[in-house]
Structure 1
């Protein structure tokens, strides 16, 4: 996740999952910018509890299979916007009747493009035009095909959709075996899972940049870096040994001091000891 954010992606996860960061990763601070629902086991009350706990910028409320669900989710969106303005709330239509019950002024449509049994394609891309749309899943080629269907000119001059987002968990799902490229999946060979995921992120970013579909502002500009870096990449409590990897940095205890700038320590005990011994004043 830190690799993805550094490359310009908005971190996110499903409501029933976490970033799986252990207590060892003390120098990692990732925003949960996007939260998906557990579509195979939906529970609106559980979802709302998780939303209030994490407060993501973008949230998939649920899949609306019928009119009753569409009305319920639309009411949830309106209620949430009162307390959480300037957030984006997504409802995924799964039947034709649901479109007329959702409000384009407040609600973004989720375009099912991954593993869902009912795909947006089954309902017809034309139903999504003139809406704000977030594409849910599919590899970048499949997502780009969907964008073209949603935005290309039509004979009847129907207004295009405004495609506002796309999420995909393939780089993490495939990180033990392969990385994605525009020409297909490539065996990761000697790469670690982390390096494999990073390569996928790089390739996907370059793919969207070549399509001129990469955002001008990246999340790290809004939230800051996911890890604090000391002024010099050395451990202050072990004779100035260098920090050798990103993993080392994530496990570092970093302090920011008036006279010394940012310093890194291997343990919280050593950090407190040197702060006391050197009379360091924190900022």
Structure 2
């Protein structure tokens, strides 16, 4: 939630979810990114999850061999026809993959995190001329990778078109520290959510300063994941008004003629107020 509000496209690995509960009645968070489980890859399982979630961006797999590359490319050929205007990423882990993968349908993943084979091992020059996504690492390492992939070369090789960067470092460290360009900082008395929020704000500020932040943010395309009331906030009898975002995420929202959007603490209170006041839903 904090990442999406800060301007990031959010998602999950195929074996995990957003972990929203039945209490999150007022949350509709898009799954825009789907990563594969690189430690336990299973293409059939991945395809099942892809068709269920239908993300905008997906990491299909790591191509350690010519056979891997052909298999992933065949899958992408089918997916790109079934789901147009999506981005499909394959991380090449061998020289042969560059010859087999199709730049018309496939984005190269530049391994930059915990992978056993890094993009530098294969050589940034291999990725030039391709749409390329930086896979993992902290923002400073990612920016250095972007420079390696795009700076002018003596032989005038075309730059890579770096289209994205993903990281989970704010979540991994949210109980203890938040990320800044100067290093990790102790979170003091902040909650894990507040700590993650600070990391995302710092990451965004750093990338904006470097000139590599996109002009359009996902929240502008998909809309706010939490509806906010326009006039009043109603609660159960004797309750206090909704005072923070986490309470609002658990609210029940109704939209009514002449009233706009109204938030309730419970479904029962919402129905009772509609009946008592004679409010007509829009």
Instruction: State the TM-score bracket (shorter-chain normalisation).
Output: over 0.9
Tell me by how many angstroms 1:237 deviates: 3.5
Tell me by how many angstroms 1:133 deviates: 0.2
Query: Contact (CA 8 Å) 2:229, 2:260: kept in 1 or not?
Result: yes
The separation in 2 between residues aligned to 1:236 and 1:177, in whole angstroms, is 35
Cα deviations across residues 211-250 of structure 1 (Å, max 9, x unaligned)?
A: 1111111111111001000114622444683211111000
Query: Contact (CA 8 Å) 2:231, 2:260: kept in 1 or not?
Result: no
In the alignment, structure 1 residue 207 sits paired with structure 2 residue 170: no
Query: Contact (CA 8 Å) 2:231, 2:259: kept in 1 or not?
Result: no
In the alignment, structure 1 residue 247 sits paired with structure 2 residue 246: yes
Q: How does 1:75-224 map to 2 (within 5 A)?
A: 75-224=74-223
Cα deviations across residues 62-108 of structure 1 (Å, max 9, x unaligned)?
A: 01110111001001111001111000000110111111000011100
Query: Contact (CA 8 Å) 1:233, 1:243: kept in 2 or not?
Result: no
The separation in 2 between residues aligned to 1:183 and 1:255, in whole angstroms, is 45
Query: Contact (CA 8 Å) 1:257, 1:281: kept in 2 or not?
Result: yes
The separation in 2 between residues aligned to 1:277 and 1:4, in whole angstroms, is 40
The separation in 2 between residues aligned to 1:92 and 1:235, in whole angstroms, is 50
**Counterpart in 2 of 1:37?**
36
Gaps of 5+ in 1: none
Judged with a 3 Å threshold, the aligned counterparts in structure 2 of structure 1 residues 192 and 75 are, in CA distance, closer, same or farther, namely same
The separation in 1 between residues aligned to 2:63 and 2:34, in whole angstroms, is 17
Cα deviations across residues 19-77 of structure 1 (Å, max 9, x unaligned)?
A: 01111111111100110000000111110110011000000010111011100100111
CA RMSD across the alignment = 1.1
Judged with a 3 Å threshold, the aligned counterparts in structure 2 of structure 1 residues 240 and 78 are, in CA distance, closer, same or farther, namely same
SS at the partner of 1:201? helix
**Counterpart in 2 of 1:68?**
67
Task: Tell me whether 227-236 or 25-34 shows the greater mean CA deviation.
Answer: 227-236
In the alignment, structure 1 residue 4 sits paired with structure 2 residue 3: yes
**Counterpart in 2 of 1:21?**
20
SS at the partner of 2:179? strand
The separation in 2 between residues aligned to 1:239 and 1:10, in whole angstroms, is 39
Please report the TM-score for the alignment, with normalisation by the length of structure 1.
0.97
The separation in 1 between residues aligned to 2:23 and 2:232, in whole angstroms, is 19
The separation in 1 between residues aligned to 2:21 and 2:43, in whole angstroms, is 28
Please report the TM-score for the alignment, with normalisation by the length of structure 2.
0.98
Q: How does 1:270-281 map to 2 (within 5 A)?
A: 270-281=269-280
